[in-house]
A = this chain, B = another copy of it.
Amino acid sequence: MAASSASSSAADPAAALDALVAAKGPLASSAAAQRDDAIERFEANLEQARAEIQEANAAECARAEADGLSAPLLRRLRLDGRHYDGMLASLRALRALPDPIGGVFDESEQPSGITTARMRVPLGVICFIYESRPAVTADGAALCVKSGNAAILRGGKEALQSNLLIAAQMDRALKEAGLPAAVAMLPTADRAPLDAILADPRIDMVIPRGGPGLVRKVKETARCMVLAHLDGNCHVYVAASADLAMARRIAVNAKIGNPSTCNAAESLLVHEDAAAALLPPLAAELAAKGVVLRGCEATRALLGDAAEAAAEEDWGREYLDLVLSCKIVPDTAAAIAWINRYGSHHTDCIVSGDAAEQQRFCREVDSSSVLVNTSTRFADGYEYGLGAETGISTGKFHARGPVGLEGLTTAKWVVRSAGAVRE
């Protein structure tokens, strides 16, 4: 195994970065067909190496289980037939997307006679850091190759052998396609090489994929742009003007659709004029589905023991579970202020029948996605039509919200003329 993965393993992170930096130019200039060819060969190589990779993964799963890895991490570590097929299907879908680089936009002739335009180009070198899931190795590598970026990958230590084998297939594919070695995998035994990478100015962006612990650590350490969200404390606000049947449907879907995802609702805000009609039947429906409500005083006055008392820390929490906090507010301004105070700038929804109120909510709620009469569950790159999801960013800069391939690019100015000089 060591032999087949040697070339894509970055035992010396500094040397690995030198090679990735050298790969930047040829990658940035490469034709889309060549990068797509590399991804197609990657798929073929993964198909060919399927038995070897799944065997390594099965051994790692057995070892991790014996070592007492938690059930959710163990689930993510597993690369069985269905997951393997899913990994390959993602690569095919990515390959089919249009080339994200080289495109020129905003072309404009200026009064001086020069022509200004903007060109999409790769960022340079991107570092993916993730926990046990080995499919991210394939996904991260292919996202970077598709977008003309070099990639340095660091997965969880329990998946190291599967990761190295997967990365080796990309390494081979790049060679076969005539592209430079643009993907390197960090050995994960110790933390020091990762810290060195995060402090290296040659890294253009870090994308941590994992729990809040990982994301927080990366955000604290990295000197460059970090594309990430720390957590998703998503709100559903039901205005007085709301269609209450719609509000109930959205609140239930947003909470129970998939409680463990970052776009699940964690908090319900209800205008005081809608509370008496909405909350008792909604609370009953949620309770029937196993959801625990934690309410403010006004909520409890209305629902009695059907809601537990919320503590101050409930308002900022991402439960990722069948728990929902509930606060009754006097007006939409209070709802907006509440969300901006306790929310996580991820995804927040208003259920409202009033256009001016919807507009105000959209403009003033400081979140990456603002949804009108739509379940928070839709906040997702695929649902937004991006074709791929690199991550969800709650920062205000570069890429905000669900991020597709464009988030792995930047735009430079390209100016042309026939020898113009400025007087």
Give A268 Cβ to nearest chain B Cβ, in Å: 15
A25 and B361 alpha carbons, distance in the complex (Å) = 10
Please count how many residues in chain A sit with their CB below 8 Å of the partner chain's CB atoms: 68
Question: Which one of B102, B246, B400, B410 contacts A413 once the chains associate, using CB atoms below 8 Å?
Answer: B400
CB–CB B422/A114 < 8 A: no
Indicate whether A364 reaches chain B with its CB closer than 8 angstroms: yes
Which residues of B have CB within 8 Å of A340? 25
Are B29 and A363 in contact, with the CB atoms below 8 A? yes
Least CB distance from A259 to B in Å reads 13
In the assembled complex, which residues on chain B have CB atoms less than 8 Å from the CB atom of A366? 24, 124
Whether A253 pairs with B378 at a CB distance below 8 angstroms is: no
Q: Are B110 and A421 in contact (CB under 8 A)?
A: no
Interface string of A241-265 (1 = CB under 8 A from B): 0010010011011100100000000
Q: Name the segment of A60-68, A180-188, A299-307, A369-377 touching the other chain.
A: A369-377
Taking a contact as CB atoms under 8 Å apart, the answer to whether A336 and B25 are in contact is yes
Query: Which residues of the partner chain B approach A400 to less than 8 Å between Cβ atoms?
Result: 410-413
Name the interface residues of A60-104: CB closer than 8 Å to any CB of B: 102
A420 to B253, CA, bound (A): 9
Contacts A25-B336, A410-B396, A410-B397 given: A116-B415 contact, CB under 8 Å?
Answer: no
Rounded to whole angstroms, the CA-CA distance of A340 and B417 in the bound complex is 23
Listed residue (A108, A123, A415) with the most chain B CB atoms within 10 angstroms of its CB: A415
Q: In whole angstroms, how far apart are the Cα atoms of A417 and B225 in the complex?
A: 33
Q: Is A384 an interface residue (CB 8 A)?
A: yes
Given contacts A385-B108, A396-B124, A416-B372, contact A250 B421 (CB under 8 A): yes
- Shortest distance between the CB of A306 and any CB in chain B (Å): 23
A110 to B385: give the CA distance in the assembly, Å: 6
B residues within 8 A CB of A213? none
Measured CB to CB, the nearest residue on chain B to A416 is B372
Q: Which residues of B contact A368 (CB under 8 A)?
A: 412-413
Q: Judge whether A175 is part of the interface by a CB distance below 8 angstroms.
A: no
Among A411, A413, A418, residue most surrounded by chain B Cβ atoms (within 10 Å): A413
Could you list 25 A-B pairs, sorted by A, with CB under 8 Å? A24-B366, A25-B336, A29-B364, A102-B363, A114-B383, A119-B363, A246-B419, A252-B421, A254-B421, A367-B412, A369-B415, A370-B412, A371-B415, A372-B416, A374-B415, A374-B417, A374-B419, A374-B420, A377-B422, A378-B417, A383-B422, A397-B410, A400-B410, A400-B411, A400-B413
A-B pairs, 6 with minimum CB distance:
A253-B421, A246-B419, A377-B422, A369-B413, A374-B417, A397-B398
